[in-house]
């Protein structure tokens, strides 16, 4: 979880509750507190959902009285006459989140120094400790590599359903990645694939991709992964102008076949409201920058080349053989993936893939974490 440091609550006056966070102290807004009331008049106890419209609260709402009836509990009387008890731990946990935070492990950016990717042994009926370990690893590194997934058709859907709901697309719930004549996508040939994110032409982009190897007996066909966030941060440091251009130029991505035509626009480096990396949209096979004045396009093309150069640099890439029974699951908004070319005449290579949304693994992580939440105290 990315935080502003461990915050602290203080009753700073009979009518003011303050928080210390990241070296800063400020009063908690009465409405912020009031809309978090957990009593049966405020929320439906079964769902936890609010029963009233908080936009109707008095904009001049004040705290009238504050007390600590028990350690870690807070009792508040508001100027609209409402009274409520709060769990200080819950207030502090929420206050610790930065704007736009997912309340999940912060990404641990990596480069080629990660080396041989760590593997997890797949189990068909995983217990909670396995699931907690796998989701945490996945959320930190942006990928997890399993061995021991039965090399049978459709097993990728079983693994996917452990972490979330399958995102069906025009390629189906599941797709076969193997070299075929008249391929509808270059992934279904034997040519090398440079680092790319999948389906940038879709809105929303599929959050997570899974690729499961049924057969890999050819020579070549190695899998590659790059941490797009690590590369983008390197670009931000080394070439801020290029970073800036790529984060504010929306690029159009397009996919077309006989029955489908998909178009979506996004900057190659998409930032969140706090300026942190949100999604990388990068696919050299599919990107079309809008027509801009020549000076702007020259700057854009220079920036794209620089980003591409780093994305393809050995400094950032890991490369490994996805062998029979291996499955890689990666964050398609953060990591770029690719493969080296192979010779289909030298042996078969057959992967099966599917997508899920990123909120599946995030939800699983939060549910598994619930039991470990520590109680919190208030300081007077």
Residues that bind Zn ion (CB under 5 A): 198
Distance CA 250, CA 271 (A): 12
Helices (H), the chain: 30-34, 88-95, 128-141, 155-163, 228-238, 240-248, 294-311, 359-369
According to the binding rule CB under 6 A, does residue 337 interact with ligand OGA? yes
CB 333 within 8 A of CB 204: no
Cα angle vertex 257, ends 252, 262, to 5°? 30
In the window 158-177, what residues touch ligand OGA (CB under 6 A)?
A: 177
Treating both helix axes as pointing N-terminal to C-terminal, what angle do 240-248 and 228-238 enclose, rounded to 10 degrees?
130
Question: Is 253 or 300 the residue whose CB approaches Zn ion more closely?
Answer: 253
Judged by CB under 6 A, the residue of 351, 354, 356, 364 near ligand OGA is: 351
DSSP 3-state of 33: helix
Residue 339 touches which of ligand OGA, Zn ion, none (CB < 5 to 8 A by kind)?
A: ligand OGA
Cβ 187 to Zn ion shortest distance, Å: 5
According to the binding rule CB under 6 A, does residue 280 interact with ligand OGA? no
Cβ 226 to ligand OGA shortest distance, Å: 12
Cβ 167 to ligand OGA shortest distance, Å: 14
Distance CA 186, CA 44 (A): 51
Residue 376 touches which of Zn ion, ligand OGA, none (CB < 5 to 8 A by kind)?
A: none
Residue number with the shortest CB distance to Zn ion? 198
Question: What is the total count of residues that contact ligand OGA (CB under 6 A)?
Answer: 9
Cβ 330 to ligand OGA shortest distance, Å: 10
Nearest to 210 by CA among 288, 146, 298: 146
According to the binding rule CB under 6 A, does residue 212 interact with ligand OGA? no
Residue 61 touches which of Zn ion, ligand OGA, none (CB < 5 to 8 A by kind)?
A: none
Cβ 196 to Zn ion shortest distance, Å: 6
Residue 351 touches which of ligand OGA, Zn ion, none (CB < 5 to 8 A by kind)?
A: ligand OGA
According to the binding rule CB under 6 A, does residue 198 interact with ligand OGA? yes
According to the binding rule CB under 6 A, does residue 223 interact with ligand OGA? yes
Distance CA 95, CA 43 (A): 20
Cβ 174 to Zn ion shortest distance, Å: 14
Cβ 246 to Zn ion shortest distance, Å: 20
Nearest to 197 by CA among 108, 285, 323, 104: 285
Helices (H), 182-227: none
CB-based contacts of 331, cutoff 8 Å, min separation 6: 138, 142, 143, 207, 208, 358
DSSP 3-state of 142: coil
Residue 17 touches which of Zn ion, ligand OGA, none (CB < 5 to 8 A by kind)?
A: none
According to the binding rule CB under 6 A, does residue 339 interact with ligand OGA? yes
Residues that bind ligand OGA (CB under 6 A): 177, 187, 193, 198, 223, 337, 339, 351, 353
């Amino acid at each position: 979880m990315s935080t502003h440091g461990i915050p602290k609550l203080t009753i700073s006056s009979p009518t003011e509750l303050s928080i210390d966070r990241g070296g800063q102290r400020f009063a908690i807004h009465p409405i912020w507190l009031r809309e978090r009331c957990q009593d049966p008049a405020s929320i439906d106890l079964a769902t936890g959902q609010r029963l009233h419209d908080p936009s109707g609260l008095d904009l001049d709402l004040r705290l009238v009285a504050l007390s600590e009836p028990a350690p870690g509990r807070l009792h508040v009387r508001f100027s609209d006459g409402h009274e409520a008890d709060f769990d200080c731990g819950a207030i502090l946990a929420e206050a610790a989140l930065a704007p736009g935070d997912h309340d999940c492990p912060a990404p641990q950016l990596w480069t080629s120094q990660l080396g041989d990717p760590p593997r997890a042994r797949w189990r068909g009926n995983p217990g909670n400790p396995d699931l907690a370990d796998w989701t945490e690893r996945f959320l930190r590194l942006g990928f997890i590599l399993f061995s021991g997934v039965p090399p049978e058709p459709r097993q990728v859907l079983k693994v996917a359903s452990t972490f979330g709901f399958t995102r069906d697309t025009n390629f189906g719930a599941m797709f076969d990645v193997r070299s075929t004549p008249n391929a509808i996508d270059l992934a279904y040939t034997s040519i090398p694939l440079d680092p790319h994110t999948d389906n940038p032409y879709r809105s929303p982009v599929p959050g997570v991709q899974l690729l499961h190897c049924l057969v890999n007996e050819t020579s070549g066909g190695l899998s590659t992964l790059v941490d797009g966030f690590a590369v983008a941060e390197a670009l931000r440091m080394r070439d801020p102008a290029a970073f800036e251009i790529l984060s504010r130029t929306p690029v159009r991505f397009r996919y077309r076949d006989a029955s489908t035509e998909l178009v979506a626009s996004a900057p190659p480096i998409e930032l969140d409201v706090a300026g942190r990396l949100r999604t990388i949209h990068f696919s050299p096979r599919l990107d079309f920058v809008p027509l801009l004045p020549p000076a702007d396009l020259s700057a854009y093309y220079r920036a794209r080349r620089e980003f591409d150069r780093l994305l393809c640099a050995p400094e950032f890439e890991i490369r490994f053989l996805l062998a029979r029974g291996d499955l890689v699951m990666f964050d398609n908004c953060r990591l770029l993936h690719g493969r080296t070319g192979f010779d289909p005449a030298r042996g078969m290579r057959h992967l099966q893939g599917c997508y899920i949304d990123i909120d599946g693994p995030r939800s699983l992580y939060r549910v598994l974490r619930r039991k470990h939440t520590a109680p919190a105290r208030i300081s007077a």
